[in-house]
Amino acid sequence: PTKSTVVLENMLQVDLRVIPPESYGAALQYFTGSKEHNVKLRTIGVKAGYKLNEYGLYHRSDDALVEAEDEAKIYEALGMEWMPPELRENTGEIEAAIEKKLPKLVTLDQVRGDLHVHTNYSHAIDPLEAMVKKAIDMKLEYLAITDHSQSLAIAQGLKEDKLLEQIKEVRRLDDEYSEIRLLTGTECDNKSDGSMDYSDDLLSQLDWVVASIHIGMQRDEETITNRILEAIHNPYTRVIGHPTGRLIQKRNPYEVNLDRIFEAAAEQNVFMEINCSPNRLDLRDVDARRAKEAGVKLSLGSDAHSVAQMEFLPLGVSVARRGWLEAPDVVNTWDLDKVLGYRR
Ligand SMILES: [Zn+2]
Ligand SMILES: [Zn+2]
Q: pLDDT tens track of the chain, all 344 residues? A: 789 999 999 999 999 999 999 999 999 999 998 999 999 999 999 999 999 999 999 999 999 999 999 999 999 999 999 999 999 999 999 999 999 999 999 999 999 999 999 999 999 999 999 999 999 999 999 999 999 999 998 899 999 999 999 999 999 999 999 999 999 999 999 999 999 999 999 999 999 999 999 999 999 999 999 999 999 999 999 999 999 999 999 999 999 999 999 999 999 999 999 999 999 999 999 999 999 999 999 999 999 999 999 999 999 999 999 999 999 999 999 999 999 999 86
Ligand 2 centroid distance, CA of 231 (Å): 16
CA of 118 to the centre of ligand 2 (A): 6
Cα of 89 vs centre of ligand 2, distance in Å, is: 31
Q: How far is the CA of 117 from the centre of ligand 2 (A)?
A: 6
Report pLDDT for 113: 98
Calpha distance 314→321 (Å, rounded): 10
Sign of the alpha-carbon dihedral angle for 335, 336, 337, 343: positive
Distance 233 CA to ligand 2 centre (A): 21
Cα of 242 vs centre of ligand 1, distance in Å, is 7
Rounded CA-CA distance 115/102 in Å is 28
CA distance 152 to 98: 51
Give the residue among 198, 115, 222, 128 at the shortest CA–CA distance from 166: 128
Which ligand has an atom closest to residue 214 CA?
1
* φ/ψ of residue 333, rounded to 5: -90, -10
- The Cβ of residue 263 has, within 10 Å, a number of other Cβ atoms equal to 16
Q: Among residues 297, 304, 293, which one has the least CA distance to residue 272? A: 297
User: Which of 269, 267, 225 shows the shortest CA–CA distance to 243?
Assistant: 225
CA of 155 to the centre of ligand 2 (A): 10
* Amino acid 303: pLDDT: 98
Residue 2: per-residue pLDDT: 86
Closest ligand to C-alpha of residue 124 is 2
Q: How far apart are CA 328 and CA 56, in angstroms?
A: 37
Cross-sheet strand order for the sheet of 181-183: 113-117, 142-145, 181-183
CA 120 to ligand 1 centroid distance, Å: 15
Distance CA 30, CA 51 (A): 13
**How many Cα atoms are found within 13 Å in the side-chain-facing hemisphere of 110?**
20
Q: What domains are there in the chain, each with its CATH number?
A: 3-98 (3.30.210.10), 108-341 (3.20.20.140)
What is the pLDDT, as a whole number, of residue 70? Answer: 97
- State the distance from the centre of ligand 2 to the C-alpha of 271, rounded, in angstroms: 15
SS3 call for 129? helix
Taking the centre of ligand 1 as the mean of its atom positions, its distance from the CA of residue 150, in whole angstroms, is 13
What pLDDT is attached to residue 344? 65
